[in-house]
Amino acid sequence: MKDSSTTVGGVLVNVRVLVGKLLAGVYAVLALACLLPALSLLAAPGDLAGSSLIAVTFFAALGGWFGYLARRRWRSDAGGLLQPADLHDPSLREFFSSVAGVSRSNADGSDRQALIRAKCRAGGALTLVREPGNAHDANAIAVMCSGSQIGYLHAELAEKYAKRIDSGEIEMTAEVKEVTGGTTVKPTYGVNVLVRVRIDPP
- In this prediction, residue 200 carries a pLDDT of 78
Measure the CA–CA gap between 69 and 107, rounded to whole angstroms.
Answer: 45
Answer for the pair 160, 74: CB distance below 8 angstroms, yes or no. no
Q: Are residues 71 and 85 in the same domain?
A: no
Q: For residue 89, what are the domain limits? A: 81-199
Percent of the chain with pLDDT over 70: 54
Task: Quote the mean pLDDT of the chain.
Answer: 77
Rounded to an integer, the average pLDDT of 54-75 is: 57
Domain check: are 93 and 184 in the same one? Answer: yes
pLDDT, tens digit (0-9, with 9 covering 90-100), for 35-59: 555 555 555 555 556 556 666 666 6
Does 66 share its domain with 91? Answer: no
Give the count of domains, the chain.
2
Whether residue 76 has pLDDT greater than 50: no
pLDDT digits (tens, 9 = 90+) for 144-175: 999 999 999 999 999 999 999 999 999 999 99
DSSP annotation of 185 reads S
Burial letters for 111-147: b for 16+ Cβ neighbours within 10 Å, e otherwise? Answer: ebbebbeebbeeebebebebbeebeebebbbbbbbee
Question: In this structure, are 93 and 109 located in the same domain?
Answer: yes
Give dist(CA 170, CA 109) in Å, integer. Answer: 32
Separation between Cα atoms, residue 158 and residue 26, nearest integer Å: 33
Q: Is 89 exposed, middle or buried (0-12, 13-18, 19+ CB in 10 A)?
A: exposed
Out of 76, 99, 117, a domain closes at: 76
The model's pLDDT over 111-146, given as tens digits with 9 standing for 90+, comes to: 999 999 999 999 999 999 999 999 999 999 999 999
User: Is-contact 191 179, C-beta < 8 A?
Assistant: yes
pLDDT bucket at 1, cuts 50 / 70 / 90? very low
Q: What is the mean pLDDT of residues 15-32?
A: 63
* Residue 148 forms part of a structural domain: yes
Look at residue 9 in the predicted model and tell me its pLDDT.
42
In a domain, 15, yes or no: yes
Region 84-103: mean pLDDT is: 79
Do 60 and 98 share a domain, yes or no? no
Give pLDDT, residue 73.
Answer: 44
The confidence score (pLDDT) of residue 163 equals 95
